[in-house]
Amino acid sequence: MQVPDSLKIHPSWYSVLAPEFKKRYMRELREFLQQEKQAGKNIFPPAAQIFNAFNSTPFDQVKVVILGQDPYHGAGQAHGLCFSVMPGVRLPPSLKNIYKEMETDLGIAVPDHGCLQPWAEQGVLLLNATLTVEESKAGAHQGRGWERFTDAAVHALAEQREGLVFILWGSYAQKKGGFIDDRRHLVLKGPHPSPLSAHRGFFGTRPFSQANAYLQSRGEAPINWALPPSGALQRVAVEI
């Protein structure tokens, strides 16, 4: 299926989600974003990176799904992957806690950056429920249609694929993924890694080793959760 030139989304995902792009809510969402830009508002991530999660992790290569809520709303932070920031950007608090759990779980040293692009390229779909946000206004684009679009993506994975790992941190992600059949997929639930909730049981959940053990039990290659040093990621800032 041919992807329209105006859409920067991987063909594998377009073949699954093409009907969504033709629906009224997506037309209204595009009009809303155009109006916001014409009004001089800064929208994150940059347009070319809005579908980065889909472009970095093609539909048939998804192994693990991590659900987030909103892109970061500070300048230079968001690049289309949930919990991830561009190289050189200060680590957000939730990501710091994710790294702490990774270190405890797998013995992997905390990286010197917050760019999760290498995870995405191995099959970890880092999907926010809302794919855009206005600068300095968290949640500004909630309820505009993105949630319906990303629901369609999660439904497609849950129904058309088998043996995936869904990591659902916090009540929002757990509600969004509440329909997933845990007889067909591994569903890992836990508190959100935010400093406001991580102390309620996020630490010690060991999601990384659990995900890899499940993948290996199905004959799949595990995810290499160790991230290369920031110096090796300079290409990311140029390519995405």
Residues tagged active-site: 70
Per the structure block, which two tokens stand in for 84?
Answer: 């991830």
**Measuring CA to CA, which residue among 146, 141, 138 is closest to residue 74?**
138
210: CB partners within 8 A, 6+ apart: 165, 186, 188
CA 156 → CA 60, 185, 208, distances in Å? 11, 13, 23
